[in-house]
A and B are shown apart, each in its own frame.
Chain A
Amino acid sequence: MPDKNETGPSVANQAAYWKSTLRLTLGLLSIWFLASFGAGILFREALDNFSIGGAPLGFWMAQNGAIYIFLILIVIYCIRMTQLEKKYGIKG
């Protein structure tokens, strides 16, 4: 459909948007991995030497902290994606 891009975003903008989306997704997923598998499982013992209130930090990350971080990650994703869509003229 060659006429589509006359009204919609240009091919170059679409490509740039997709590239930024991938970069953002990868960045947020690294934090997702570090917060859960990293802090909550792989490095739990090391983090348990620290504490948050009365809870060992690694244990707390696995049972509560990771969930808060997941939530923050989705919020950041929504905000950044909306910004990217504005920047590249994507309808959203």
Chain B
Amino acid sequence: MVDPWTIFWVVTTFGLYIFIAIRARAGSTEDFYVAGHDVHPVINGMATGADWMSAASFLSMAGLIAFLGYGGSVYLMGWTGGYVLLALLLAPYLREFGKFTVPDFVGDRYYSKLARVIAVVCALFVSFTYIAGQMKGVGVAFSGFLGVSFNTGILIGMAIVFFYAVLGGMKGITYTQVAQYVVLIFAYTVPAIFISLTITGNPIPQLGFIGNAAGTDVGMLEKLNKVVTDLGFLEYTSTDKSKLDVLCITAALMFGTAGLPHVIIRFFTVGSARAARKSAGWALLFIALLYTVAPAVGAFARMNFVDTVNEATYIADAENYEERAAEILLDGGKPVPEWYKSWEKTGLLAYEDLNGDGIMQYRGPNAPDGLANEVTPSRDIFVLANPQIANLPNWVIGLVVAGGLAAALSTAAGLLMVISSAVSHDLLKRTFRPDMSEKSEMLAARIAAAFAVFLAGLLGIFATQLPFVAQVVAFAFGLAAASLFPIIFLGIFWKRMNKEGAIAAMLTGLITTFSYIYYFKFGGGAADSWLFGVSPEGIGFVFMWLAIGVGIAVSLVTPPPPKAIQDLVQDIRIPGNRGAL
């Protein structure tokens, strides 16, 4: 049965996005690629927040942290720390450079069409892997909540994104992303506040996180540590991963964040280098509103899951749930919670009665009582089920679905922009068809965007059959960190960096990182032969240094860049030197 509130929220928010798209049509290539270069820093910060926070941030991250405990910190630090690198090392300088795309900078700074084309390949690869995951998220949300098939869900999502991305380009995307940010942050925090009240008695999740468990004088985390270790899990605030691996994964996510083209291009839309710096600060503030709540939600969800599900008496028959639950309570037992029953059919929760006692044992690998684990929750369940766990009204549940869709669609739109501008601007206008008029470039951009929407939808539909989609994190961030970050960074901070060095660095980062991830994820490589014990998720950080080393070495043995290029680097370091571009 489809909840009318869910339909209400989804239809209302989608209508809003379409309304904004019609109001914010692009009139020129400048509008289409960079929203006219005049977006306010706060507005851009908000748009960046939505652009950045994907279906994974919204739906999966809190659940991942709930299972990993301290181990989940890599995502929290990695996906926020990258903004410090962006603000201090890249965004203001790239804005001062003042063009349209990341390959634009690479092509101009390294005076080379080949460098530009390699950068296009990196940007396209990163963006397509990333977008497939978003479309899949849209399909899941629709099929799970709106009673349509997975593929129809993706088609609806494609139609919406097509509408505002193709029509409005970056201008349309910017203002829809602002609306999507508001929807997603509201949908995330409202249930979080109530679940914090339930578990800790404090309405502010960040304070509940460091506070006491409700009605006791024991710290919430201290209690959680005891609860999970008693069941044979690792202590919540610890990890069994090596320090080096945790460090490398965190760093790969940070440098990858800073090198992701769809994040960087958002900073081309503001008016100046100074505005770009400010905007990065606003972006991190808007992101932090979700990212500081997520670990609290993770811990609360884990605690609540153990409290309500472990040792509960299972009720197989959903029809007579209330009757059976009352009987169990009367016998002094604990019935399986109602939210569990209503989510069970989605396949996000699984119970297998291994010892045949009808009681649900939730156990870790080292359970002191030697019992086997019988309950397997998926990581996406916690954010989705939070409103029901906290006994919130139905309208909140519908809101969470709309929030998840907002997160997925806004990220997908930002990625589409990277794909369309890489094709129409970098491949056509700047490389193969330089005599193209602005009007035909705009048409090419729209056709490329339309084609990219279509391809993204196909990727989403076949996502379950394509193994790399699930590994998107390792690929997208590793490649962005090892291939794009080094040459952008060196291009700004080292005048001597030349064309040969840049091409060598990009190829080194791309090939080594791709091969390593491919070998250990799909090629049958075993974990004990990891280089320095670094997992594929963290290897981008190691090969980033290799790429930087190769880039510097090759530059030093080849001729320095022309005087005009060294002047260009000087000018992007000093705000205002390049005039109002």
Output the least CB separation between A72 and chain B (Å).
10
Q: Which of A63, A68, A85 has the most CB of B within 10 A?
A: A63
Q: Are A41 and B243 in contact (CB under 8 A)?
A: yes
Q: Are B222 and A54 in contact (CB under 8 A)?
A: yes
A55 to B224 CA separation, bound complex (whole angstroms): 11
Given contacts A41-B247, A53-B211, A67-B77, contact A4 B577 (CB under 8 A): yes
Q: Are B73 and A62 in contact (CB under 8 A)?
A: yes
Interface residues on B, range: 35 or more
Q: Are B292 and A68 in contact (CB under 8 A)?
A: yes
Given contacts A25-B88, A73-B84, contact A60 B250 (CB under 8 A): no
Output the least CB separation between B68 and chain A (Å).
11
Output the least CB separation between A38 and chain B (Å).
10
**Nearest chain-A residue to B207 (Cβ)?**
A53
Is B549 close to A, CB under 8 A? no
- The one of B207, B288, B574 in contact with A68, judged by C-beta atoms closer than 8 angstroms, is B288
Interface window among B117-125, B170-178, B271-279: B271-279
Chain A's interface: helix, strand, loop or mixed, by majority?
helix
Q: Which of A32, A41, A60 has the most CB of B within 10 A?
A: A41
Is A18 close to B, CB under 8 A? yes
- Cβ–Cβ < 8 Å partners of B273 in chain A: 92
Is B337 close to A, CB under 8 A? no
**Nearest chain-B residue to A75 (Cβ)?**
B281
**Nearest chain-A residue to B570 (Cβ)?**
A14
Q: Which of B250, B280, B295, B574 has the most CB of A within 10 A?
A: B574
Q: Mark B92-124, 1 if CB is under 8 A from A, else 0.
A: 100000000000000000000000000000000
Output the least CB separation between A69 and chain B (Å).
9
- The one of B84, B210, B220, B280 in contact with A52, judged by C-beta atoms closer than 8 angstroms, is B210
A70 to B574 CA separation, bound complex (whole angstroms): 24
Is B221 close to A, CB under 8 A? yes
**Nearest chain-A residue to B251 (Cβ)?**
A37
Output the least CB separation between B74 and chain A (Å).
9
Output the least CB separation between A60 and chain B (Å).
6
Q: Are B84 and A29 in contact (CB under 8 A)?
A: yes
A59 to B251 CA separation, bound complex (whole angstroms): 17
**Nearest chain-B residue to A29 (Cβ)?**
B88
Q: Mark A11-44, 1 if CB is under 8 A from B, else 0.
A: 0001001100100010011001000110011101
A66 to B209 CA separation, bound complex (whole angstroms): 15
Name the interface residues of B14-49: CB closer than 8 Å to any CB of A.
Answer: none
Q: Are B292 and A60 in contact (CB under 8 A)?
A: no
Output the least CB separation between A80 and chain B (Å).
10
- Cβ–Cβ < 8 Å partners of B285 in chain A: 71
Given contacts A55-B221, A59-B221, A81-B274, contact A74 B87 (CB under 8 A): yes
Q: Are A37 and B250 in contact (CB under 8 A)?
A: yes
Is B313 close to A, CB under 8 A? no
- The one of B81, B292, B295 in contact with A32, judged by C-beta atoms closer than 8 angstroms, is B81
- Cβ–Cβ < 8 Å partners of A75 in chain B: 281
Is A78 close to B, CB under 8 A? yes
A38 to B570 CA separation, bound complex (whole angstroms): 34
- Cβ–Cβ < 8 Å partners of A21 in chain B: 573
Q: Are B221 and A74 in contact (CB under 8 A)?
A: no
**Nearest chain-B residue to A45 (Cβ)?**
B238
- Cβ–Cβ < 8 Å partners of B70 in chain A: 44, 59, 62-63
- The one of B73, B218, B277, B292 in contact with A77, judged by C-beta atoms closer than 8 angstroms, is B277
A25 to B254 CA separation, bound complex (whole angstroms): 17
Q: Are A77 and B87 in contact (CB under 8 A)?
A: yes
Output the least CB separation between A62 and chain B (Å).
4
Interface residues on A, range: 35 or more
Output the least CB separation between A18 and chain B (Å).
5
Q: Mark B424-438, 1 if CB is under 8 A from A, else 0.
A: 000000000000000
Q: Are B243 and A56 in contact (CB under 8 A)?
A: no
A59 to B209 CA separation, bound complex (whole angstroms): 11
Q: Are B576 and A91 in contact (CB under 8 A)?
A: yes
Is B76 close to A, CB under 8 A? yes
Is B130 close to A, CB under 8 A? no
Is B143 close to A, CB under 8 A? no
Is B59 close to A, CB under 8 A? no
- Cβ–Cβ < 8 Å partners of B92 in chain A: 81
Q: Are A14 and B574 in contact (CB under 8 A)?
A: yes
Q: Are B80 and A67 in contact (CB under 8 A)?
A: yes
A28 to B284 CA separation, bound complex (whole angstroms): 16
- Cβ–Cβ < 8 Å partners of A29 in chain B: 84, 88
- The one of A4, A53, A54, A82 in contact with B274, judged by C-beta atoms closer than 8 angstroms, is A82
Q: Are B210 and A71 in contact (CB under 8 A)?
A: no
- Cβ–Cβ < 8 Å partners of A63 in chain B: 65, 70, 72-73, 76, 209, 295
Q: Are A74 and B84 in contact (CB under 8 A)?
A: yes
- Cβ–Cβ < 8 Å partners of B73 in chain A: 40-41, 59, 62-63
A48 to B219 CA separation, bound complex (whole angstroms): 14
Is B361 close to A, CB under 8 A? no
- Cβ–Cβ < 8 Å partners of B251 in chain A: 37
Given contacts A54-B220, A77-B88, A91-B575, contact A85 B274 (CB under 8 A): yes
- The one of B83, B570, B573, B576 in contact with A92, judged by C-beta atoms closer than 8 angstroms, is B576
Q: List 20 A-B contacts (CB under 8 A).
A: A14-B573, A21-B573, A25-B88, A32-B84, A32-B85, A36-B81, A37-B251, A41-B73, A41-B247, A44-B70, A51-B219, A54-B221, A55-B221, A60-B210, A63-B295, A64-B209, A64-B292, A68-B292, A71-B288, A74-B84
Beyond the given A17-B574, A92-B576, please list 18 additional residue pairs across the A-B interface where CB-CB is below 8 A. A8-B576, A14-B574, A14-B577, A32-B84, A48-B237, A51-B219, A53-B210, A54-B212, A54-B219, A54-B220, A56-B237, A60-B210, A62-B76, A63-B73, A64-B206, A74-B88, A74-B277, A91-B577
Interface residues in chain B, defined as those with a beta carbon under 8 Å from any beta carbon in chain A: 65, 70, 72-73, 76-77, 80-81, 83-85, 87-89, 92, 206-207, 209-212, 218-222, 237, 243, 246-247, 250-251, 254, 272-274, 277-278, 280-281, 284-285, 288, 291-292, 295, 570, 573-577
Interface residues in chain A, defined as those with a beta carbon under 8 Å from any beta carbon in chain B: 4, 8-9, 14, 17-18, 21, 25, 28-29, 32, 36-37, 40-42, 44, 48, 51-56, 59-60, 62-64, 66-68, 70-71, 73-75, 77-78, 81-82, 85, 90-92
